Amino acid sequence: MGIIEKMRLDGKKGFVTGGARGIGKCTATAFAEAGADVAIVDLDYETAVATAKEIAEATGRKVIALKCDVTNEDDVKKMVNDVVEQLGGLDFCHANAGICINAPADEMTYQQWLKNMDVNINSVFLTDTIAGKYMLAHGGGSIINTASMSGHIVNVPQPQCAYNASKAAVMQLTKSLAVEWAKRGVRVNSISPGYIGTELVLAAPHLKALIDQWNAMAPMGRLGKPEELESICVYLAGDTSSFTTGSDFIIDGAFTCF
């Protein structure tokens, strides 16, 4: 069997939070293209349904939509149970849901700070541990967390201390869980995208000036594309990455290299 065949995900079951659009939609599509059955998990259920239908029609895989508030423990427990029941198991997950609140630290409200932390790190803890408990009890699995290059650097010119701190926390949580579960069959890794040109980013008028500044600073002179994150996630979800755990993969076009 060649390496391409070994990297396929035939027979595997998984879910992607924040999967209705952007990075999550791209990775969910890639998982299905590689042969997996996938649940699109999002608070925006209507868009999740449309995304699931689109991916299912394009790939022929079973793709379902589930509504979930990833900051709510009961919601996450129900979501994981629904994935297992409707797909027939759980082999991998991509904890991808996140938000970014740009506000100077001296002007940011505590409520803004808490909301950022709730979505960006608390939800990852809930997703990882609840999915992880199932995987630990059923022979193992792979967990992928979306961190950010912002966990490695301080972005400029936008002020985003809460986002930066939350994404650094995602990386440390990833490493901690990887060590705890290393001998129990569950691998945990993270990806740290740079500036990615999702549809929402490219369509936002208020980001135009920032995008110009980011591109001027970027060694490649451009934003990344969501599909440029697909292959690393397929690798991490599959069996060829069996010795890969506790790692953070920076995909930023060398932005953090200087």
pLDDT in tens, 130-171: 999 999 999 999 999 999 999 999 999 999 999 999 999 999
How many CA atoms lie less than 13 Å away from 141 in the CB half-sphere?
Answer: 25
How would residue 201 be classed by pLDDT, with cut points 50, 70 and 90? Answer: confident
For 50, the domain range is 3-195+229-251
How would residue 207 be classed by pLDDT, with cut points 50, 70 and 90? Answer: confident
Whether 163 is catalytic is: yes
How would residue 258 be classed by pLDDT, with cut points 50, 70 and 90? Answer: confident
Mean pLDDT of 250-257: 97
| Among candidate residues 104, 51, 105, 41, the one with its CA nearest the CA of residue 71 | 41
The pLDDT assigned to 171 comes to: 98
Query: Does residue 210 lie in a domain region?
Result: no
Domain count within the chain: 1
Domain of 101, CATH number, reads 3.40.50.720
Does residue 202 surpass a pLDDT of 90? no
Phi-psi map region of 246: left, alpha, beta (phi>0 left; psi -120 to 50 alpha): left
Whether 195 is catalytic is: no
Catalytic residue from among 12, 25, 67, 167: 167
Query: Does residue 224 lie in a domain region?
Result: no
Catalytic residue from among 12, 13, 163, 241: 163
Q: How far apart are CA 122 and CA 71, in angstroms?
A: 7
Q: With 0.85 as the threshold, say if the pTM is over it.
A: yes
Catalytic residue from among 123, 134, 142, 148: 148
Q: What are phi and psi of 40, to 5 degrees?
A: -90, 110
Whether 241 is catalytic is: no
